[in-house]
Amino acid sequence: MAKIQLKNVSKAYGDHNKVIENMNLEIQDGSFTVLVGPSGCGKSTTLRIIAGLEEVTDGEVWIGNQLVNDVAPGKRGVSMVFQNYALYPTMTVRGNIEFGLENMKIPKAERKKMVEEIAETVDLTDYLDKKPQNLSGGQRQRVALARAMVKKPNVFIFDEPLSNLDAKLRGQMRTELIQLHKRLGTTFIYVTHDQMEAMSMGDEIVILNKGQMMQQAAPMEVYHNPANQFVAKFIGTPAMNVLPIAMVEGKLGKIIDKNIFYVGFRPEHAKIQMTDLSTFGLHLSCNVMTMETLGSETLYLLNSEVGQFQVKSYLPPLIDTEKVHVTIPAEKLYYFDERGNRIYLKKLPFERLGEVVKGGVLL
């Protein structure tokens, strides 16, 4: 196992195409860390830098106690599982798993034992003599995992390994990878653009945007305490609603904190009903634009005088209605400054009806 550190790492292609800028990232030994972000944010490049497949433009890469900037990929103790599996089609499952061991000059009898042990771990014992084209997508993914595992690396790196699978199989493989990590106790670094994968699999999530770290924290910490607007909108389905404070100030009261430029709320934190409630918070009268019933939940797209936003409700859908009232409790509101950075407050930042409001109670 090994701790990973990127210290002031930058990566540029040419003079102007900077993919990663001054990144400082620390991945704990034995953790399951997920890098997530939109396409082009630098997450796959970060993986390739750790694996040694890309050289850094500036900065240092540490694996354990070793500076590995000039260490060859094969000597870093890292195994990588690719999006396309990269299996050899002319080799059997056994041959694919064994290939790396042959290059390491491991004796044949020892190779055979290692392959059979790994095949049993990932449930491939009955497929060792088959070729990749005769396997399902999930089985091919297991072969790629077994090939990485058999070398017993200090770090496993996964570059969107489930993106070619259907939704049901992705869910199954997510569970298997989580269980595999618990069994091995090895450092896992996983890249995805799917926030569901990130939230369900990782001990820690690292959110990237345009080559910069937006936030690194545990999944529920990221969800409940996003550091900025980008994270708030990226994590959560549907995304957090964010409105200019000027549009809702009259609905809340006089804003005391002049650093606040935006107010946000998660769709699932809004309460939708036919009549206005006295609950203290942000009250909006809305027209229903669309309604999507998804079984256990209903998604509403609403239009109000402050603009359009989404609400997620777990109550039975409202039938045959065009007008509704929405209340967002005051304690469920998020505040952001002019640059989109989160403003953390110990008390509510506004006055209502000329009276100071604390903890949702009029004084």
Residues 6+ apart with CB under 8 A from 22: 8, 9, 10, 58, 59, 212
**Residue 343: closest CA among 225, 252, 238:** 225
Contact between 97 and 149 under an 8 Å Cβ cutoff? The reply is no
Contact between 253 and 351 under an 8 Å Cβ cutoff? The reply is yes
Task: Report cis status (omega within 30 of 0) of the bond before 238.
Answer: yes
Instruction: Note the Cα 341 to chain centre separation in Å.
Output: 19
What's the pLDDT at 360?
41
Helix 167-184 to helix 137-149 angle (10° resolution) is 20
Cα distance between residue 363 and residue 360, in whole Å: 9
Six token digits for residue 36? 């997530």
Burial environment of residue 22 by CB neighbours within 10 A (0 to 12, 13 to 18, 19 or more): middle
Cβ count near 104 (within 10 Å): 11
Look-up of token digits 């699999």: 201
Query: For 5-9, 107-111, 150-154, which range has the lowest pLDDT when averaged over its residues?
Result: 150-154
Per-residue pLDDT at 357 exceeds 60: no
Most confidently modeled range among 109-123, 127-141, 211-225, 321-335: 211-225
**Residue 100: closest CA among 69, 121, 78:** 78
Cα distance between residue 32 and residue 25, in whole Å: 14
* Cα–Cα–Cα angle for 285, 289, 295, rounded to 5 degrees: 105
Per-residue pLDDT at 354 exceeds 50: no
**Chain segment 41-67, per-residue pLDDT in tens:** 999 999 999 999 999 999 999 999 999
User: Stretch 340-358: mean pLDDT, rounded?
Assistant: 70
Mean pLDDT of the chain: 88
pLDDT band (50, 70, 90) for residue 278? low
**Chain segment 97-113, per-residue pLDDT in tens:** 998 888 888 898 999 99
What's the pLDDT at 352?
59
**Residue 328: closest CA among 275, 268, 286, 288:** 268
What's the pLDDT at 361?
40
- In this prediction, what percent of the chain has a pLDDT beyond 90? 57
**Chain segment 161-218, per-residue pLDDT in tens:** 888 778 887 888 888 889 889 988 899 999 998 888 999 999 999 999 999 999 999 9
Phi, psi dihedral angles at 308 (to 5 degrees): -90, 145
What's the pLDDT at 221?
96
Return left, alpha or beta for 251; rule: phi > 0 is left, psi -120 to 50 is alpha, else beta: alpha
Per-residue pLDDT at 356 exceeds 70: no
Tell which wins on pLDDT, 184 or 10.
10
Cα distance between residue 43 and residue 20, in whole Å: 9
pLDDT band (50, 70, 90) for residue 250? confident
Cα(first)–Cα(last) distance of the chain, in Å? 56
Per-residue pLDDT at 160 exceeds 90: no
Phi, psi dihedral angles at 198 (to 5 degrees): -60, -45
What is the total residue count of the chain? 363
pTM > 0.75: yes
Per-residue pLDDT at 122 exceeds 90: no
